[in-house]
């Protein structure tokens, strides 16, 4: 009798082990399948990049082209205001310009007009330029891309 009970318990153990393995395999396959379906959904929901490489190049070129005019305008306004603090001037915010003395307003408006033309000459709309400027504040990858583009554009032809 011991031999029959031994056979019975061995087959029971094998059956339980087999069933455990079978259900474990199904559960594992379900988890893996679910993980793949979730990751594919995540890729499908990933938004396209906010800015493409051409826009980054155009933005960097516009910034470099505007910089001398910005520095000149800043220096001229600084001379007019004297030792006072120069307020932040934002071209699409008329309040920032209206708070300046009349001659400084003219300088700021002139700078803003020239900057708009520079942006458009570099293949961007003002809205695109502003969108990129805002995105730069929170997007470190974009910051790095623009920074690297600015460095590349400023290299002398001999070092390229």
Residue in this structure with the two tokens 């910005």, named with its chain if needed: 70
pLDDT of residue 99: 84
Contact status, residue 120 vs residue 126, Cβ threshold 8 Å: yes
Residue range 74-103: mean pLDDT, rounded: 86
Question: Which pair of tokens denotes residue 131?
Answer: 């969108």
User: Distances from the Cα of 139 to the Cαs of 31, 131, 136, 143, in angstroms?
Assistant: 34, 12, 5, 6
Label residue 160 by pLDDT band (50, 70, 90): low
Helix (H, G, I), strand (E, B) or coil at 14: helix
pLDDT of residue 157: 65
The upper half-sphere exposure of residue 92, i.e. CA atoms within 13 Å in the direction of its Cβ, equals 8
Q: Rounded to whole angstroms, how far apart are CA atoms 107 and 97?
A: 10
Question: Could you count the other beta carbons within 10 Å of the beta carbon of residue 116?
Answer: 16
Q: Rounded to whole angstroms, how far apart are CA atoms 153 and 113?
A: 24
Question: Which pair of tokens denotes residue 115?
Answer: 């900057």
Contact status, residue 55 vs residue 146, Cβ threshold 8 Å: no
In this prediction the pTM is: 0.65
pLDDT tens profile 30-82: 433 343 344 444 445 555 667 899 999 999 999 999 999 999 999 999 898 88
């Amino acid at each position: 009798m011991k031999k029959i009970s031994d056979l019975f318990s061995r087959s029971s153990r094998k059956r339980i082990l087999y069933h455990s393995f079978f259900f474990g395999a199904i559960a594992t396959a379900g988890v893996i399948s679910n993980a793949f379906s979730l990751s594919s959904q995540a890729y499908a929901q990933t938004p396209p990049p906010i800015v493409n490489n051409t826009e980054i190049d155009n933005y960097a070129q516009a910034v470099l082209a505007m910089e001398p005019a910005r520095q000149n305008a800043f220096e001229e306004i600084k001379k007019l205001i004297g030792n006072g603090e120069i307020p932040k001037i934002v071209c699409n915010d008329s309040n920032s310009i209206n708070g300046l003395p009349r001659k400084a307003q003219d300088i700021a408006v002139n700078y803003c007009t020239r900057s708009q033309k520079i942006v458009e000459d570099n293949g961007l709309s003002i809205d695109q330029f502003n969108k990129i400027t805002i995105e730069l504040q929170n997007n470190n990858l974009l910051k790095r891309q623009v920074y690297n583009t600015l460095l590349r554009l400023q290299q002398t032809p001999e070092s390229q």
